[in-house]
Amino acid sequence: MENITSKIIKSPCLFENLDNSLKNNYRNKKIQLVSFVNPYSYMILRKEKKSNMNVDFFYSDSFISSIIFSIIARRKIARVSFDYSSFAKYFLDKVSESNDSVYFIGSKQNEIEKTIGIFKSKYPNLKIAGYRHGYFKDENEVNTIVNNIIASKANFVICGLGTPFQEKFGTKLKNSYSSNIKIIYTCGGFLHQSSNKIQYYPHWINKFNLRWLYRLLKEKYTLKRILIQYPQFLFFSFYDHITNQFKNR
């Protein structure tokens, strides 16, 4: 069985994959589930075997994890994330020029409303099939939301529920066999971050790969992640890769 690192190494170019999905008729084809990992989410997802099996493509969304995955892969693994400094801008630019529609789910109700308002202002041609906050009472409500997304006939779903809930929700949606959905993308905190402004990181922060420092200063929980999960990631990323190599022999 492929682990997260193996899928990162084998995943196609994220941008080209989107372009192909916009060009081709995906009706009745397999729904793709795409997710992104950093040291923190890797430590959570490595234990979620069932969810990992259903994710088609993983990508590295932090500078540190990209360095480690590049060492393991023995080739450059680029940092790519669903935020406006990376893939999110490309996605919104491309989809707003197409006939495809998008469903957004995640964040709190007031935040998702602000985010959608910003999207509509910046991308007036973007076809929004629907949107919803990311909090559920129980499994029955989850099933209802899945059915609502299918009924909206959205072609893309952007899911920002946090790890591992967004991967689990994406798996349930993927297994719904909708004939309209092409790709489900997890987006972490993108919908929450975009509720104030769509470009969360200042230009100079992106230029010098200091996103971790920016988040450290703005988000209190980031320090705990850096001190605990990051060292664990350094060990377990290599451990998981070596273990998987032996299992597949």
Catalytic residues: 111
Give the three-state DSSP class for 130: strand
Query: 15 phi and psi, to 5 degrees?
Result: -70, -45
Q: 29 and 166 in contact (C-beta within 8 Å)? A: no
- Return the structure tokens found at 81: 């994330």
Angle at 103 between CA 137 and CA 25, to 5 degrees: 135
Q: Omega of the bond prior to 164 within 30 degrees of 0, cis? A: yes
Give the three-state DSSP class for 55: coil
Cα dihedral sign, 18-69-239-241: positive
